[in-house]
Amino acid sequence: MRLLVTGGCGFIGSSFIRYVGREHADYRITNLDAITYAGNPENLRGIERVLDYSFVRGRVEDRSVVERLVSEAEAVVHFAAESHVDRSIRDAAPFVTTNVLGTQVLLEASRRARLGRFVHVSTDEVYGALGEEGVFSEGTPFAPRSPYAASKAAADLLALSYHHTHGLPVSVVRPSNNYGPRQLPEKLIPLAVTNLIEGRPVPVYGDGRNVREWLFVEDCCRAIDAVLHRGRPGEAYNIGSACERRNIDVVREILAMLGKGEDCIEFVSDRPGHDFRYALASDKVKRELGWEPRTDFSTGLRSVVDWYRDNADWWKPLKARLGRG
């Protein structure tokens, strides 16, 4: 298969390319990435030695680049996005440009090329927030509560509209919070781990009681691969682990793994519109595609802690560039 991956130098995108390289060694993969602050070519260092792989630096909203690459592909998996909520609160414009306009450009090029398959990677944040109980199903009405989530909701709906209007074989995946190696150290888990390794406190928003459903990145990649090959066009699939943790409990587990005490926690002012809880019903992807998460949270978290402890040369320059060092 000739596969175009957008945003393949980011955390989930690069993990997906590595996964596909192991599972489908005969695929030819082209990676389109703008190499913004979130894209890191080091995530795929040496991949061309084991995979038919090429890299193109460019933006998904650049029609000429996108049309050329789509015309050479049989399928697209679209990860490219601005994805950090805090950044969207400070300035929403790049999120609209990349996440909405960029997705439309990619969809239109795919329609014109009569592309055989298109998987759009969305997020559970399009649904909004939950209280203490309940879960989001694929039919839950969208209620995004941050500029980031709103831009992803718009892209999600655009993707499905291209199936219903134009017949483009689009499927959408909505994963829960991913974690794993090579995640940018501005997200909760890698920030906590690296700060503690450096002897710095861990910032926790509010009282830390916000709840997220944590999914190990390789489990997410397996689900996306299953949707790429067997998902129904015009359908959305939630991808969750059913593993819910309060942010404060995640931090406490990391503290225990690194032999640190709770005096290393620094509670900071909550961010505006901070969603209380996300949780997904993932019955559909399990029933239709036979997918199940394989990595329990403690095992996955331990592997992440070990990876960051062993790869300071990867994350220290990133933290310095992000102003986290």
Catalytic residue numbers?
A: 124-125, 148
**What are the residues whose beta carbons fall under 8 Å from the beta carbon of 90, sequence distance 6 or more?**
none
pLDDT category of residue 325 using cuts at 50, 70 and 90: low
**What is the arithmetic mean of pLDDT over 36-59?**
91
Looking at domain 188-211+243-276+296-322, its CATH superfamily turns out to be UDP-galactose 4-epimerase, domain 1 (3.90.25.10)
DSSP state of 46: T
Tell me, what amino acid is at 105? V
Crossing angle for the helix pair 312-322 and 188-197, nearest 10 degrees? 110
pLDDT category of residue 324 using cuts at 50, 70 and 90: low
**What is the arithmetic mean of pLDDT over 297-315?**
97
- For the chain, the structural domain boundaries read 2-179+216-239, 188-211+243-276+296-322
Cβ proximity of 85 and 146 under 8 Å? yes
Cβ proximity of 301 and 238 under 8 Å? no
- What confidence tens digit (pLDDT) does each residue in 132-185 have? 999 999 999 999 999 999 999 999 999 999 999 999 999 999 999 999 999 999
Place of tokens 């969603």: 275
Distance CA 317, CA 218 (A): 25
**What are the residues whose beta carbons fall under 8 Å from the beta carbon of 66, sequence distance 6 or more?**
32, 58, 60, 105, 106, 109
Distance CA 268, CA 195 (A): 15
Q: So what's the pLDDT on residue 85? A: 84
For 279, the enclosing helix (H) or strand (E) is: none
- The answer to whether residue 265 scores a pLDDT higher than 60 is yes
What is the full DSSP assignment across 248-273? HHHHHHHHHHTT--GGGEEEEPPPTT
Domains 2-179+216-239 and 188-211+243-276+296-322 share a fold: no
Q: In what order do the strands lie in the sheet with 177-179?
A: 177-179, 211-216, 244-246
Q: For 73-87, 142-156, 211-225, which range has the lowest pLDDT when averaged over its residues?
A: 73-87
Distance CA 250, CA 174 (A): 22
pLDDT category of residue 274 using cuts at 50, 70 and 90: confident
**Arithmetic mean of pLDDT over the chain:** 95
% residues pLDDT > 90 (the chain): 89
**What is the arithmetic mean of pLDDT over 65-71?**
98
2-179+216-239: CATH, from 1.20.1440.230, 3.30.420.40, 3.40.50.720, 3.30.1360.70? 3.40.50.720
Q: So what's the pLDDT on residue 159? A: 98
Q: So what's the pLDDT on residue 127? A: 97
